[in-house]
Structure 1
C-alpha cells in the first residue's frame, strides 16, 4: 500500500486502459479522483474512488475540476493523464481542420490546461507528480496519422518543459510512449494485428503507480518507450 494517503487525479479513469490504472492505484492504497465525461462512484466498487464527471477541453473547465478535487479531497499528489484519442487514415494534404483540432484538444490541450491549473497548488505543497500517456508515434511518426503524431510529439515537449520548470519545487513530470495496447477497442479496430506483441495495460498501470510514488524523485523529464514485443 505504497500510496496510502496520496490523492491521485486520473483522467480517462474508466475504459480500456483507465480501468486497469484506476484499479492499480486503488490497490496501492491511494484516494483516486477519477475523471471522465461520464463517470460515477459506482463505476468502481471501492470506498477510495471518487468520481468527477468533467470535460477537459477548455482552461475554465480544468480549473473548476481542480478546485472541486481540492475542495473534496484536500490535495492532489499526482496527475495521471490517460485522456487521449486517435484519428487517422488520411495524408496531411487530406486532413481537415476538424480532425487536426480534435487531436490537439484530446492529446495536447487537455493536459496543458490541467497541468496549468494544478501546478501552482503542487508548488505550494512542495511535491507533485505529473504523468502522461503519449504514443510511440510521437517519436516514430507514421503516414496518414500526422495530426495524431504531431499532437503526441507536442505532448512530449510539454511534459519535458514542465519537468524543467518545476524541478525546484519537488515536482516531477514524465511521459510513457506505448505501442499498441491490448484493449478490447484495439482488438476490434485491428483484428489482423498480433495482440501477443501488444503492450499489456496492467504493465503500464504498474509503471504509473511506481512513478507516482515517493521512490522515483530522480526520474524526471523521462520519455519512456513501452513497446511490448513489437520492437
Structure 2
C-alpha cells in the first residue's frame, strides 16, 4: 500500500485519560482506530466526547491485554494493522522498603507485560506485510528515576529498552518502533491525585497525540529506536 493507505491503528489505553486526548487527534488526521477496553465507563466517556462522524471510524473491542489469547485474537481479527499506539500503563507510589512484591509485580504486568504481548502479536502481522509503526509510552522517570517510584521507573525503563530492541530487530523491514517519555501528563486522574495548581506546567494529552500522529505517519519512516522526551514545563 502507499499514500494514505496506512491508516489502521490499534490504540490501547484509548479510553483512559491520555487516550481520550490522543484519540481525537488521530481521528482528525484520518486514522481509523481499534480500541480495546476493560472499563465500560471509560468507553462511554470517550464515546460522549467524540462526534458521530468520528465514532464511525472507531471500533471498540473488549479485551484483557494481560491475556495473551485475547491479545492475539484482538490483533488477528483486525482486517488491517498499520500502527500500534500502546498507551496502557499506570503507577503507584511508595518507598522501596515498603513496596509489596505483589505491587512490584503488578507494575510490571501493567506496564511491561501488556507492551510485550501487544507488540509481539502486532509484529507477527507487520513483518509479513513489510510495514508497521509502533509507539509505546515510557516516562521521564525511566531516564531520570525519582524517589518512591522505583517500581514504576524500573518498569518504564524496561519499556524503553524493549521498544529499542524491537527497532533493532526490524531494521530494513519498513517497521519503526519508538517510545515517548512524558513528564507529568495533564489528565483528570493526575489532577485528582496532585491537585491542579501546577497543571499548566504539565504535558497536554493532545501534544502527545500530535507527536504520535507524526511517528505513525509514513513521513516518519526514518525514525526508529528513538526515546523522545516530552516534558512540557514540568
Give the alignment's TM-score, normalised by structure 2: 0.91
- Deviation string for 1:35-74 (max 9, x for gaps)? 12135598243211111111111322211211222xxxx2
> Over aligned residue pairs, what C-alpha RMSD do you find?
1.7
Pairs aligned (count)? 224
Question: Are 1:5 and 1:29, in contact at CA under 8 Å, matched by a contact in 2?
Answer: no
- Deviation string for 1:76-128 (max 9, x for gaps)? 1000000001111x222211111111100111010101111110210111110
Query: Which residue matches 2:139?
Result: 135
* Mapped partners of 2:225, 2:219: distance in 1: 15
- Quote how far apart the aligned CAs of 1:161 are: 0.2
- Quote how far apart the aligned CAs of 1:3 are: 5.4
Query: Which residue matches 2:85?
Result: 80
* Mapped partners of 2:220, 2:26: distance in 1: 16
Q: Which of 116, 122, 125 is the matching residue for 1:112?
A: 116
Question: Are 2:35 and 2:58, in contact at CA under 8 Å, matched by a contact in 1?
Answer: yes
* Mapped partners of 1:198, 1:217: distance in 2: 29
Within 5 Å, give how 1:207-218 maps onto structure 2: 207-218=211-222
Question: Are 2:8 and 2:82, in contact at CA under 8 Å, matched by a contact in 1?
Answer: yes
* Mapped partners of 1:138, 1:193: distance in 2: 25
* Mapped partners of 2:144, 2:226: distance in 1: 17
Query: Which residue matches 1:15?
Result: 16
Runs of 5+ in structure 1 lacking a partner?
none
Within 5 Å, give how 1:1-231 maps onto structure 2: 6-39=7-40, 43=47, 44=50, 45=52, 46-69=55-78, 74-88=79-93, 90-191=94-195, 193-230=197-234
* Mapped partners of 1:203, 1:192: distance in 2: 18
SS of equivalent residue, structure 1 residue 215: helix
SS of equivalent residue, structure 1 residue 172: strand
Runs (4+) off by over 4 Å: 2-5, 39-42
- Quote how far apart the aligned CAs of 1:29 are: 0.9
Question: Are 2:6 and 2:82, in contact at CA under 8 Å, matched by a contact in 1?
Answer: no
Runs of 5+ in structure 2 lacking a partner?
none
- Shift of the 95–210 alpha-carbon distance from structure 1 to 2, 3 Å rule, reads same
Give the alignment's TM-score, normalised by structure 1: 0.92
Question: Are 1:6 and 1:77, in contact at CA under 8 Å, matched by a contact in 2?
Answer: yes
Question: Are 2:112 and 2:158, in contact at CA under 8 Å, matched by a contact in 1?
Answer: yes
